[in-house]
Amino acid sequence: EDQVTQSPEALRLQEGESSSLNCSYTVSGLRGLFWYRQDPGKGPEFLFTLYSAGEEKEKERLKATLTKKESFLHITAPKPEDSATYLCAAHPGSSNTGKLIFGQGTTLQVKP
């Protein structure tokens, strides 16, 4: 069964304290691994897509990496405005419908 698991569920950081969020996936033939940011009361906002192991993408203080079993979202010197829930999702190769399998998310709180 296709599955995506994120850890930790919640993470509290001091401003400037770098850390990483983990996304482990078990899917049949990964076609893409997606990262989203979700603020309270809003829909998920697209951040990155990774397609193959070894790929990396960066945006401001965020960097996403991908291996054959997991993805990491590295947050460097976070600021309070980075506080949000971060979701990862996998697009299985068995799915021709574009169906994404979402993890439960990691809620990040950055304190000033």
Binding other proteins by CB under 8 A: which of 17, 45, 56, 58? Answer: 45
How far apart CA 22 and CA 101 sit, in angstroms, is 15
Judge contact between 22 and 9, C-beta under 8 A.
no
Least spacing, CB of residue 51 vs other proteins, in Å: 7
**Is residue 26 at the binding interface for other proteins, with CB under 8 A as the rule?**
no
Q: Which residues of 45-56 are buried (b: 16+ CB within 10 A; e: fewer)?
A: eebbbbeeeeee
**Is residue 51 at the binding interface for other proteins, with CB under 8 A as the rule?**
yes
**Is residue 42 at the binding interface for other proteins, with CB under 8 A as the rule?**
yes
Residue numbers at the binding site for other proteins (CB under 8 A): 31-32, 34, 36, 41-47, 49, 51, 87, 89, 91, 97-100, 102-105
